[in-house]
């Protein structure tokens, strides 16, 4: 992820209008930069004490990104600083979610995939019962653990949508549509994964399901990212087609 963030930053920096750059003349912002840099040292120490504590990580990220934009503004002005914002926001996606938020998201995703899978399986001839976050198939409980909630593919789809939106330079509205579509696709593919594993357990037993667990998960991930890439390509194609039509019509209207 870091190489992409650096790539986006370099591209945005090169594309910025440096001829109209207005560096900040004041010296006091450099004091802010120095103070922020010193603050990173104790934050790093606190992070090392407990790697699962989300507060220091987010504070560290916020200070780092703020310092980045202040330094860019000092060198080239706030306009150029704003132009590199997509790159710094993409880097922010690498910061783990706070524990409370992640747990709430895991619970929500688990409920969604269980409901979706339990709605599809009966139509395929595999009736199941839902008991909390578990399926009852052939009298056997199949628990949908937190690791099967799809939280990683959910977060990965956000990164993929944001990354492809920036690479293809999609308009803001289409980037938002891409990210929303990526999230929906991640939920659907994970529900399909749960349904496929439950079907295997229903027909071949628990051991067969355990043996197929990783392979089915990889296929669900591949389909998710392939779908996000296809959606990004279609959105980029629609943008190019719209621009082509505009350029074609504009001379005739004159």
Q: What is the pLDDT of residue 229?
A: 93
Tokens of 110: 């688990």
Q: What pLDDT, in 10s, does the model give residues 60-79?
A: 888 888 888 888 888 888 88
Q: What is the pLDDT of residue 30?
A: 81
The span from the CA of 209 to the CA of 110, in Å, is 19
Q: What is the pLDDT of residue 144?
A: 67
- Cβ atoms of 88 and 69 closer than 8 Å: yes
Number of structural domains (the chain) is 2
Residues 136 and 104 in one domain: yes
Residues 129 and 213 in one domain: yes
Residues 110 and 155 in one domain: yes
Residues 201 and 244 in one domain: yes
Residues 81 and 110 in one domain: no
Q: What pLDDT, in 10s, does the model give residues 131-187?
A: 766 777 666 666 666 556 667 777 888 888 889 998 998 998 999 999 999 988 988
Residues 85 and 152 in one domain: no
Q: What is the pLDDT of residue 244?
A: 57
Residues 140 and 68 in one domain: no
Residues 144 and 195 in one domain: yes
Q: What is the pLDDT of residue 247?
A: 54
The span from the CA of 117 to the CA of 111, in Å, is 10
The span from the CA of 244 to the CA of 246, in Å, is 5
User: Domain end: 52, 76, 92, which one?
Assistant: 92
- Its domain, for residue 77, covers 2-92
Q: What pLDDT, in 10s, does the model give residues 230-243?
A: 999 999 988 766 55
Residues 79 and 37 in one domain: yes
Q: What pLDDT, in 10s, does the model give residues 87-143?
A: 888 888 888 777 777 777 777 777 777 778 778 777 777 777 777 667 776 666 666
Residues 206 and 146 in one domain: yes
Q: What pLDDT, in 10s, does the model give residues 35-58?
A: 888 888 888 787 777 666 677 788
């Amino acid at each position: 992820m870091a190489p992409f963030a650096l790539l986006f930053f370099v591209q945005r920096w090169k594309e910025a209008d440096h001829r109209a750059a207005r560096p900040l003349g004041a010296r006091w912002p450099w004091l802010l930069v120095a103070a922020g840099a010193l603050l990173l040292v104790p934050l790093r120490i606190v992070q090392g004490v407990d790697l699962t504590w989300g507060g220091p990580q987010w504070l560290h990220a916020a200070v780092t990104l703020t310092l980045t934009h202040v330094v860019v503004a000092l060198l080239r002005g706030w306009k150029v600083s704003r132009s590199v914002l997509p790159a710094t926001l993409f880097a922010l996606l690498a910061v783990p979610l706070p524990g409370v938020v992640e747990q709430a998201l895991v619970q929500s995703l688990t409920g969604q995939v269980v409901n979706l899978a339990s709605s599809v399986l009966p139509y395929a001839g595999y009736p199941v019962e839902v008991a909390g976050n578990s399926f009852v198939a052939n009298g056997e409980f199949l628990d949908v653990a937190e690791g099967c909630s799809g939280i990683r593919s959910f977060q990965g789809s956000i990164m993929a949508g944001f990354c492809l939106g920036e690479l293809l330079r999609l308009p803001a509205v289409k980037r938002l549509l891409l990210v929303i579509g990526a999230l929906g696709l991640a939920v659907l593919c994970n529900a399909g994964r749960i349904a496929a594993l439950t079907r295997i357990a229903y027909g071949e037993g628990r051991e067969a399901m355990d043996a197929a667990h990783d392979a089915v998960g990889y296929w669900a991930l591949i389909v998710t990212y392939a779908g996000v890439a296809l959606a990004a390509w279609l959105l980029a194609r629609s943008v190019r087609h719209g621009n082509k039509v505009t350029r074609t019509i504009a001379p005739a209207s004159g």
